[in-house]
Structure 1
Amino acid sequence: MSLSETLIARAREIAPIVEREAYNTDKNRRISDAVLDACQEAELFSILVPKVYGGHELNYSTMASVVYEFARHCTSTAWVVSFYIGHNFLHSLWPKEFQDEVFAEGPCSFTPGTIAPNFRLVPVEGGYIANGLSQWNSGSSRCDWFLNSGLVMIDGKPQGAKAFMVPAKDVEIIDNWDMAGMRGTASGDARLTDVFVPHHRAVDVMDLLNGTAPGSQIHANRLYSLPVLPFVLGETMPVMVGSYRGAADAFKKLTEERYSTFTSAKVQNKQTAQIRVGHGQAGAAIAETLLRDYATMLDTVDPAEIKSIEKRAEIRARVGMVSDYVQSGINEMMLGAGGGAFRSTSPLQRFFRDMNVLRVHGFLDTETATENLGRVQLGLEPNCPL
């Protein structure tokens, strides 16, 4: 068994714990330490960390397969685990001094955060002073570092953007995550007040977007030269696809067990129920094919081939369309699931709520993504960062 297969097998062994904890994850608005400890012990968070720092330095396919196993049972857990794995990968793109710092005690850390430029950075000797408030910090209930992004302000005017890391002790975590879906992700706000950020903890956002961050010069593996947006979008793909499979299987099981309220007839004998089961199973299989295709692309493409604005716009639109496809498929099943499927103990209603929230995520919104692709193909400037 290869290392990749071993790690995926470990994820499958942890998946029943994820399933058992799914209700509490949603109720408590955070992933249990038992699940995160099991993932850390299984060495899942270091899948993409360079070997020189004790990581596995594997490929996106391994990461996607691990996340998919969790997404079949709990969208929130898969989302946060995917970000923890992905943000350890992002550590590898920072300057060597920061990599030495963050990996000093092992090949992974818990790093929530976002690259949306919510902060203001004022240059000072040796670095910057950061102030501001950010939202959507998935995984903030357990953190060692925070990923942030902000505009560099000189004479009150923005002069480019920097992504940066700060230790969790410098962050005020605001426990205000109370959403209709993705409730277990602990994606609350984070505030920085006069926090000093040394130069080695910051990277030009444009270098991340273009695949020219410092880590691309340090590590020979092509993985570390990928433009960051296709990778970040890739963090979401196995979450959505695994959730579709989980919903399709849950709907099939529910249909097999249900009886009609008024006639006591088995629901599985109704043609509409049969159509919905078939639609859900086939739809999930198609989504899995789309995930494998995306994984093959990230694992084999020459980074130079996806550095153009046109290609990045195409990739973003593709992932946006997947979100639309998965949401529609799950919504269709819910129409035939009966009122009982909306009980808080039902996994179906969690998949339904979670995917309807993800569908309007800034990176996954189909309208924005396809508009951007249309603009680029018509020779217009993109209307949001790519």
Structure 2
Amino acid sequence: MADTNAAPVRNTEQLTDELVERARAIAPAIAARAETSERDRRVADETIADVAEAGLFEILVPQRYGGHELGISSMVKVMKALSPLDVSTGWTLAFYMVHNWMWCLLPEEAQKEIFADGPSRLGPVMVAPTVKAQPEAGGYRINGRAKWGTGSSHAQWCMVSGIVEEDLPEPVEGQPPRPPAVRMFAMPWSEAKLEDTWRTSGMAATASHDVIFDNIFIPAHRVMDATPARSGEAEGAQIHDSSVYTSAFTPMLCVAALSAIVSGTLGAAGHAVERAKTFLSTFSGRTSVDNPALQIRLAKADLAAQTASRMIDALAQEIESDATMPPIPLENRARQRAMSSHIASICRDAVTLLAQGSGASGHMSDSPIQRAFRDINMASCHVVFDQDPTMELHGKMLVGRPPPIILA
């Protein structure tokens, strides 16, 4: 006899398709605000309202908190549709989405606190361990400065990584020294202090200002050990049934950021094709649509964008597959980081090719091509996309020579 009390089976593909359509409907307004968002160095308030109303911020949030509880593959599909002509805004929105996932790795008490007022909480998560944490009864006291506070413009909560001050034992002869204890500390945004430092040639709307932490007490329930999270074994993940929350920390961050870059590359390539069909040279008054050199550039950029799109889809699916069987091996995580940096380089080369062939008019301030060129060239310099360390790490793992400390 059928169990009439059983929860209904969700059609996640149908839900994903619905969210993609909502994203696609918002995209033209985001593109229209791109120049203003860049000038104001923050995502437009109207964009935040649009995305919130569409229910996109909570794509990775558990159903128990009112979220959709979908995986990173669904998020990538949404991001491709959401902001193809404004990478800077897309990057910020993607970070808000994945940061909502990160809150779910904290202890359960912190999760309930963060999601008490709704299914998403926006804010920066600064993963470089730059603050100092002193243990105290019931928690830690943190002090310091963190850079790269992406999304600070609409922050409600934030989380920062820091090193716990402790007396480390002398290393045993012949053994590598014990790495310092790294923890992540969550708090309401009102406890932190922003310092306006974000003046850049690209990615201006991300509002990635410095954040100051001055003698802030963080209760123990809002502290996460970063090490198990790397392999998909964060404490907070254990209370959720979905394998979304046992995904590896760094690959999830890589793909979330990469989704905005891939979206922007697809958008720039498509825009360049449409521009070529109608553009008239101010010098000759003639169209350049029949110019073989332009056609070759457009073809190369299109193939690069489509390649990057397929590669990120495959990478997201691999991360989801790994998450079903934690702990996730170092080899997999190292390869996924390397693959992310490789995809970012493909995107960078594609928009550079388009910018080089767009003429001077393609570099006017209202041109999506020049904006994608600047934004993607800067975004691809993010530490997770630095090809030297990511390829070196992947190569070391391939030949069986792992480094003593691996942050993957």
TM-score when normalising by structure 2 = 0.91
Report how many residues are paired: 386
Q: 1:24 to 1:67 in 2, by over 3 A?
A: same
1:333 aligns with 2:354: yes
1:320 aligns with 2:341: yes
Find the counterpart in structure 1 of residue 258 from structure 2: 237
1:154 aligns with 2:154: no
Instruction: Describe the superposition over 1:104-155 as per-residue Cα deviations: whole angstroms up to 9, x where unpaired.
Output: 1111111212111011000000000000100111110111111110000025
SS at 1:129 equivalent: strand
Q: 1:302 to 1:107 in 2, by over 3 A?
A: closer
Structure 2: distance between partners of 1:347 and 1:381: 42
SS at 2:218 equivalent: strand
Find the counterpart in structure 1 of residue 119 from structure 2: 107
Find the counterpart in structure 2 of residue 41 from structure 1: 53
Structure 1: distance between partners of 2:43 and 2:180: 38
1:156 is displaced (CA, Å) by 8.7
Q: 1:302 to 1:129 in 2, by over 3 A?
A: closer
SS at 1:181 equivalent: coil
SS at 2:309 equivalent: helix
SS at 2:185 equivalent: strand
1:381 aligns with 2:403: yes
1:3 is displaced (CA, Å) by 2.0
1:205 aligns with 2:217: no
1:251 aligns with 2:291: no
1:66 aligns with 2:78: yes
Q: 1:159 to 1:361 in 2, by over 3 A?
A: closer
1:132 aligns with 2:140: no
What is the identity, as a one-letter code, of the residue corresponding to 1:330?
A: V
Instruction: Describe the superposition over 1:306-331 as per-residue Cα deviations: whole angstroms up to 9, x where unpaired.
Output: 72221111110001001111101111
Report if the CA contact (8 A) 2:73-2:317 is conserved.
yes
Structure 1: distance between partners of 2:323 and 2:364: 47
What is the identity, as a one-letter code, of the residue corresponding to 1:372?
A: L
Instruction: Describe the superposition over 1:260-306 as per-residue Cα deviations: whole angstroms up to 9, x where unpaired.
Output: 44433321111101111111222211111112212222333344377
TM-score when normalising by structure 1 = 0.96
Q: 1:311 aligns with which of 327, 332, 335?
A: 332
What is the identity, as a one-letter code, of the residue corresponding to 1:143?
A: A
1:230 is displaced (CA, Å) by 1.3
Range with greater deviation from structure 2 (286-295 or 94-103) = 286-295
Structure 2: distance between partners of 1:306 and 1:275: 46
Q: 1:109 to 1:366 in 2, by over 3 A?
A: same
Report if the CA contact (8 A) 1:119-1:131 is conserved.
yes
Q: 1:327 to 1:383 in 2, by over 3 A?
A: farther
C-alpha RMSD of matched pairs (Å): 1.7
Find the counterpart in structure 1 of residue 390 from structure 2: 369
1:28 aligns with 2:50: no
Instruction: Describe the superposition over 1:334-359 as per-residue Cα deviations: whole angstroms up to 9, x where unpaired.
Output: 11100111111111111000111012
> Identity of counterpart residues, as a percentage?
31
Report if the CA contact (8 A) 2:126-2:148 is conserved.
yes
Range with greater deviation from structure 2 (274-283 or 375-384) = 375-384
Q: 1:249 to 1:377 in 2, by over 3 A?
A: same
Structure 2: distance between partners of 1:257 and 1:302: 47
What is the identity, as a one-letter code, of the residue corresponding to 1:193?
A: D
What is the identity, as a one-letter code, of the residue corresponding to 1:322?
A: I
1:16 is displaced (CA, Å) by 1.1
Structure 1: distance between partners of 2:119 and 2:22: 18
Report if the CA contact (8 A) 1:8-1:65 is conserved.
yes
1:383 is displaced (CA, Å) by 6.3
Unpaired segments of 5 or more residues in structure 1? none
Instruction: Describe the superposition over 1:81-121 as per-residue Cα deviations: whole angstroms up to 9, x where unpaired.
Output: 11111111111111111011001111111121211101100
1:215 aligns with 2:236: yes
Report if the CA contact (8 A) 1:71-1:240 is conserved.
no
Report if the CA contact (8 A) 1:145-1:165 is conserved.
yes
Q: 1:200 to 1:116 in 2, by over 3 A?
A: same
What is the identity, as a one-letter code, of the residue corresponding to 1:270?
A: N
Find the counterpart in structure 2 of residue 98 from structure 1: 110
1:244 is displaced (CA, Å) by 0.8
1:169 is displaced (CA, Å) by 0.8
Find the counterpart in structure 2 of residue 342 from structure 1: 363
1:159 is displaced (CA, Å) by 4.1
Structure 1: distance between partners of 2:109 and 2:184: 15
SS at 2:92 equivalent: helix
Structure 2: distance between partners of 1:305 and 1:326: 31
Structure 2: distance between partners of 1:105 and 1:176: 31
Structure 2: distance between partners of 1:329 and 1:302: 31
What is the identity, as a one-letter code, of the residue corresponding to 1:4?
A: T
Report if the CA contact (8 A) 2:232-2:327 is conserved.
no
Report if the CA contact (8 A) 1:372-1:382 is conserved.
no
Q: 1:273 to 1:140 in 2, by over 3 A?
A: same
Structure 2: distance between partners of 1:325 and 1:383: 29
Structure 2: distance between partners of 1:339 and 1:83: 33
1:252 is displaced (CA, Å) by 1.3
Structure 1: distance between partners of 2:100 and 2:330: 26
Report if the CA contact (8 A) 1:375-1:382 is conserved.
no
